[in-house]
Amino acid sequence: MNMNDIQAAKYLGLKSAQTLRNWRHLGRGPAYCRLGRRIVYLQQDLDRFLESGRIDPEARREAP
């Protein structure tokens, strides 16, 4: 599913789509696709971005 920046921001739980625009400008944030002048986000890229920030307390306890 393709999402515009407003839909993607809502999916990620961000307060504003401007955050995604700022991240793009800074070279941060989730992967995106440029279709002409439109920017779209794929759901699997947003899921990957969320997963990359995941912290597992159980795994941290097992680390030496």
Domain limits, the chain: 2-55
Question: Residue 32 — φ and ψ, nearest 5°?
Answer: -145, 165
pTM of the full structure = 0.84
What pLDDT score does 49 carry?
Answer: 97
Q: Is the pLDDT of residue 42 over 80?
A: yes
**Span 2-55 CATH architecture:** Orthogonal Bundle (1.10)
Q: pLDDT above 70 covers what percent of the chain?
A: 94
- Strand pairing category for 2-3 and 33-35: unpaired
Banded pLDDT at 17 (limits 50, 70, 90): very high
- Average pLDDT (55-62) is 77
Residue 64 CA to residue 56 CA, distance in Å, equals 15
Contact between 32 and 44 (Cβ < 8 Å): no
Q: What angle do helix axes 5-12 and 43-52 make, rounded to 10 degrees? A: 40
- Give the rounded distance of the alpha carbon of 50 from its chain centre: 6
